[in-house]
Amino acid sequence: MRLTSPTLVLTLSFLPLSACTRATSAPHVNLASSTEALQEAFNRDSGKVRAIFLASPTCGECIHGASELERVWLDKDSSRNIAVYVVWSRQLGAEEKHVADAMTLVPDARARHYWDGEELVGKAFQPVLDLPAPAWDTWMLFDRTTTWRGDRAPTPAWWEHQLSVGPPERQLDPERFASHAEALKSVLGDHT
Amino acid sequence: MERVTRASPPARPASAAGALSAGSTGFGAALVTIVAGTCCVSPVLAPLIVGALGAGGAAWAAGLKPYSSYILAASLLLLAGGFWSVYRPRTLCVAGTDASRPARWMSRLSKGVLWAGAVCWVAAVVVHLTLS
């Protein structure tokens, strides 16, 4: 027992990570063939700092990025003037059944989760972000006045990504992302 | 009846168990490096990794990706230490006694784990170099 303790530590270190995930209250919304449900929620939350996370629930780096933003930003900022939309899509073999587990990594009550099996949201943001493929593993911030009307997705006030094809200076840095969110919130006069 | 072992004497239980510990830790570390490296490249492997580790485990493994080189270096040291423990030259010992049985069993197990760990480590290096 004593001699194999490093192995046990290594093995057991996995268990709490997979077993002790936090529960989220609301189920996810399936966007099916339209981004309408997301657009409605986005426009309804006008006046708040809003964030859209585009990620795949089977991409380790995506869910690591999501959990880091939860830890570094949302866990530390309890402002009501924040709304987050986490759009899970099908890259890397993901299916809708994978969403429930991934959702537990962003349990914040201000976050709503969506399943986008057709990458509709990613395709909508592809031209806006000037990416060569539908956007995913991408994290965007919008100011309070932005609205999403029609087919053209809104331009984010700030965005970061973890893609090999995106601009290197925009690689996800959760601390920097949180500071940009804070700056946008300060514009609202919200210093909580 | 006692007889003297002439070749490949089994490791002493303590050193064999130490080698087993080092080997299995090195094996585990190399495996983690493979998981971290392959989590985001294959639509076949990614769902399997998330299924096996859960979203939290997969996120944790992905978070180790920047440290892959250090993990590989540490696991190489562990494996090298394990191989040295098992294969280093020893003085002959008396076999057939009660004490030699667990030593022989442990020595075989240690060698198996160490070689499996070595194969896994090479695979991890290939994955790491290919993806980086």
With b for 16 or more beta-carbon neighbours within 10 A and e for fewer, the B107-127 pattern comes to bebbbebbebbbebbebbbeb
Residue B3 lies inside a defined structural domain of this protein: no
What's the pTM value of the predicted model, to 2 decimals?
0.74
**Residue A111, SS3?**
strand
Domain that holds residue B32: 9-131
**Residue A68 bridge partners (DSSP):** none
Neighboring chain B residues of A136 at a CB cutoff of 8 Å: none
Please name which of A129, A56, A125, A123 lies closest in space to residue A86, comparing C-alpha atoms.
A56
Domain count, chain B: 1
Residue B4 lies inside a defined structural domain of this protein: no
Asked if B39's CB is within 8 angstroms of A17's CB, the reply is no
The answer to whether residue B15 scores a pLDDT higher than 70 is no
Over the stretch A158-180, which tens digit does the pLDDT of each residue have? 999 999 889 999 999 999 999 99
Q: Which of A11, A18, A99 to mutate to test the interface with B (most CBs of B within 10 A)?
A: A18
Q: What is the predicted pLDDT for the residue at A1?
A: 37
Residue A10 to chain B, least CA–CA distance (Å)? 7
DSSP codes of every residue in B35-60: HHHHTTT-TTHHHHHHHHHHHHHHHH
Residue B1 lies inside a defined structural domain of this protein: no
Number of other residues whose CB lies within 10 A of the CB of residue A80: 9
Residue B27 to chain A, least CA–CA distance (Å)? 9
Burial class (CB in 10 A: 0-12, 13-18, 19+), B28: buried
A91 touching B (Cβ < 8 Å) = yes
Residue A138 to chain B, least CA–CA distance (Å)? 14
The CATH H-level superfamily of A23-187 is Glutaredoxin (3.40.30.10)
> Among the residues of chain A, which ranges form H helices?
5-12, 14-19, 36-44, 60-69, 99-103, 120-129, 174-187
What is the pLDDT averaged over residues A9-16?
A: 44
A25 touching B (Cβ < 8 Å) = no
